[in-house]
Amino acid sequence: MTTAPATGPAPGRRRRRRATANAVGLVFSALMAFPLYWMLLTAFRPATEIHADPPHFWPDHLTLEHFRRAVDTPTFWANVRSSVLIGVGTVLVSLLIGTLAAFALARFSFAGRKALVLVILGVQMVPLAGLIIPLYLLLSDAGLTDSLVGVILTYLVFMLPFTVWLLRGFIAGVPVELEEAAMTDGCTRLGAFRRVVLPLLAPGLVATSIYALVQAWNEYVLAYVLLSSNDKQTLSIWLLSFQTSFGTDYGGLMAGATLTALPVAVFFAFVQRRIGAGLTAGAVKG
């Protein structure tokens, strides 16, 4: 370093360092991606090759037999329906309620605002598993066990804080002058919200709803406790059906895992940037 004070390390050494970094980065990517690769490979290869010893690391023959078996399990389509209904229901209700609260937090100063912010941040820390017992008792009093509505209600509360928090950031990003201009021009507050804020909020709404959808799609414990009929259970619970006391059907399990992961993975890829920023809001400027 002392030999080249102005230009930094010699170009040759810098290039070599870059190459090493690239190589390490690619090796890391390969290691991280391997479990996903192995899932897909197992899902698409015939049973004889799944149980090959030594294992083959490249695809030889591809088959859809595991997917066929997974889709043909008696409750598959019912479970897909449950997952979709619960996911969409949670998203719609939490967006509806959450946008109102987010708007209040972003645009008004009122007594108790700070307390609400602290509650909303703190609530995200309450472990779901700790609340299963009283939630179960509450819903069983209300006659909502083994009902999709009951599950949506409970998910709602765990999604709502994050929805409000994320949307608050997006609303705060819309200049308040735009809204005021609209109101000067004769819009009501609601009209200004609908015509000015809402269109600009669209990306935030999309990001938030996908995050809530993914969370609802992935949740397991509450759905497992609250839903007792097989045909009402969600895909996360359905995945466990490939493990029996006689052993695990890994071909079917990996095909099921692929089917469960695919829709959320595609959605998620579009919005991960905003989600990450939302979880650590304020930590990263810009």
Partner 1 sequence: MGTVELPGPPRAAPPPHRPRTARAPRPRRTLRRRLLPYLLIAPTVLALAAVLGYPLVDLVVLSFQDMTRRELFSGAPPPYAGLANYRSILTDGFFWTVVGRTALFTVACVAATMVLSLLVALLMRRVAPWVRTVMTGVLVAVWAMPVMVAASIFRWLSDADYGVVNWLLGLLPGLDFSKHNWFEDPWQGFAVITGVVVWGAVPFAALTLQAALSQVPAELAEAALVDGARPGQLFRYVTWPVIKPSAVLVTSLSAIWDFGVFNQIWLMRGGQPEKEYYLLGVYSFIESFAVNRYSVGAAIAVVTVLMLLVGAVVYVRQLVHLGAAE
209-268 binders of partner 1 (CB under 8 A): 214, 217-218, 220-221, 225, 236, 239-240, 242-243, 248, 250, 253-254, 256-257, 260-261, 264-265, 268
Told to check if 58 binds partner 1 by CB under 8 A, we report no
- Nearest approach, Cβ of residue 178 and partner 1 (Å): 7
| Segment near partner 1 (CB under 8 A); pick from 26-34, 64-72, 73-81, 84-92 | 26-34
Told to check if 147 binds partner 1 by CB under 8 A, we report no
Told to check if 78 binds partner 1 by CB under 8 A, we report no
- Nearest approach, Cβ of residue 88 and partner 1 (Å): 17
Q: 47 or 78, CB closer to partner 1?
A: 47
Told to check if 133 binds partner 1 by CB under 8 A, we report yes
Which residues is 248 bridged to in the sheet? 243
Told to check if 156 binds partner 1 by CB under 8 A, we report yes
Q: 61 or 186, CB closer to partner 1?
A: 186
Binding-site size, partner 1 (CB under 8 A): 109
**Contact residues for 197 (Cβ-Cβ < 8 A; gap 6+):** 103, 171, 174, 178, 179
Told to check if 283 binds partner 1 by CB under 8 A, we report yes
Exactly one of 62, 64, 119, 202 binds partner 1 (CB under 8 A); which one?
119
- Nearest approach, Cβ of residue 6 and partner 1 (Å): 8
- Nearest approach, Cβ of residue 38 and partner 1 (Å): 6
Give the C-alpha separation, 194 to 183, whole Å.
12
- Nearest approach, Cβ of residue 49 and partner 1 (Å): 10
Binding mask 173-202 for partner 1 (x = CB under 8 A): -----x--xx--xxxxx-----xx------
CB 227 within 8 A of CB 146: yes
Told to check if 282 binds partner 1 by CB under 8 A, we report yes
- Nearest approach, Cβ of residue 154 and partner 1 (Å): 6
- Nearest approach, Cβ of residue 72 and partner 1 (Å): 19
Give the C-alpha separation, 195 to 150, whole Å.
34
- Nearest approach, Cβ of residue 259 and partner 1 (Å): 10
